[in-house]
Amino acid sequence: MSPHYSVPLSRHGKCDSNVINTEKEHKMNILNKLKALLLPSEYRKQLDTNVPESWLVLRKRAYLFAAVPFAEVPNEDYASTYVKDKIKRMVTAWPIIAEKGLFLLYYGNVGEWNHHKDKFKVDKTGLKPVILQSVHFLDPDTGDNYNIRTNWGPVKFGFCDGVIGRIEAGFQKR
pLDDT digits (tens, 9 = 90+) for 129-171: 999 999 999 999 999 999 998 755 555 555 688 899 999 999 9
- Rounded CA-CA distance 32/66 in Å is 13
CB 54 within 8 A of CB 69: yes
Residue 141 burial (10 A CB sphere; 0-12, 13-18, 19+): middle
Single out the residue of 163, 97, 87 nearest to residue 130, CA to CA. 87
pLDDT digits (tens, 9 = 90+) for 10-24: 444 555 555 556 888
pLDDT value of position 4: 47
Q: Which CA distances in Å does 129 have to 49, 68, 76, 84, 91?
A: 18, 19, 22, 9, 10
Judged against a pLDDT cut of 60, whether residue 9 lies above it is answered with: no
89 is in which domain, residue-wise? 17-31+41-171
Judged against a pLDDT cut of 70, whether residue 81 lies above it is answered with: yes
Judged against a pLDDT cut of 50, whether residue 73 lies above it is answered with: yes
pLDDT value of position 24: 86
pLDDT value of position 68: 98
Judged against a pLDDT cut of 80, whether residue 104 lies above it is answered with: yes
Burial letters 28-58, b for 16+ CB under 10 A, else e: eebbebbeebbbeebbeeebeeeeeebbbbb
Q: Which CA distances in Å does 64 have to 15, 108, 146, 158?
A: 35, 20, 19, 10
| CB neighbour list of residue 111: distance below 8 Å, 6 or more residues apart | none
Residue 155: strand, helix, or coil: strand
The structural domain count of the chain equals 1
The mean predicted confidence, pLDDT, of the chain is 85
Helix axes 17-38, 161-171, angle to 10 degrees: 130
In a domain, 4, yes or no: no
CB 118 within 8 A of CB 138: no
Judged against a pLDDT cut of 90, whether residue 52 lies above it is answered with: yes
In a domain, 87, yes or no: yes
In a domain, 26, yes or no: yes
CA 142 to chain centre: 17
